């Protein structure tokens, strides 16, 4: 039985061509840019889930505040530190996977997020208010505004 809904936001999923990256794999531009020379690494989360990421997503989502990594590896100043290197993917290929257009990630990643939440807070559902917290980016104009 296939999963028809995103385990995070319950949006209906789309089937797409994907690169091995769990996060951007379903983005058309990532598929377009994909070559067998693209670098993908497999790593493991503290909770034991394995994760395949391209270089860009590893940098953006595990080393920059507000990335997915901060939800997956709570308690690390730099979530990338909580990732255990497993291997570099050899001969990466395009495949097909379900994709959540709302979360903008592959189902593979949505499942990792969902299971990480369960592992971190057994019984406690993810707080939707926290997921949709308003951005607090204050735009500071220069003096003389
Ligand atoms: Zn990626
Ligand atoms: Zn979703």
pLDDT digits (tens, 9 = 90+) for 20-36: 999 999 999 999 999 99
* Contact present, 51 and 138 (Cβ < 8 Å): no
Q: What is residue 82's three-state secondary structure? A: helix
Q: What are the residue ranges in the chain where pLDDT is below 70?
A: 1-2, 119-145
**How far is it, in rounded angstroms, from Cα 99 to Cα 15?**
6
Domain-wise residue ranges, the chain: 14-122
**Distance from residue 139's CA to the centre of ligand 2 (Å):** 29
pLDDT at residue number 47: 86
Return the pLDDT at 95.
97
Task: Identify the three-state secondary structure at position 65.
Answer: coil
Query: What local confidence, expressed as pLDDT, does residue 84 receive?
Result: 92
C-alpha 83 – ligand 1 centre gap (Å): 15
81 CA distance to ligand 2 middle (Å):
26
């Amino acid at each position: 039985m296939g999963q028809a809904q995103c385990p995070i936001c319950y949006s209906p999923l789309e089937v797409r061509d994907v690169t091995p990256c769990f996060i951007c794999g379903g983005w058309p531009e990532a598929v377009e840019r994909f070559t067998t020379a693209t670098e993908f690494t497999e790593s493991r989360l503290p909770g034991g889930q394995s994760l395949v990421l391209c270089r860009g997503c590893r940098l953006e989502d595990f080393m920059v505040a507000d990335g997915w990594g901060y939800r997956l590896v709570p308690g690390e100043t730099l979530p990338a530190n909580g990732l255990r290197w497993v291997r570099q993917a050899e001969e990466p290929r395009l495949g097909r996977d379900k994709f959540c257009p709302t979360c903008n990630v592959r189902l593979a990643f949505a499942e990792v997020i969902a299971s990480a939440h369960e592992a971190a807070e057994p019984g406690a559902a993810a707080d939707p208010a926290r997921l949709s917290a308003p951005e607090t980016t204050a735009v500071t104009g220069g003096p003389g505004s």
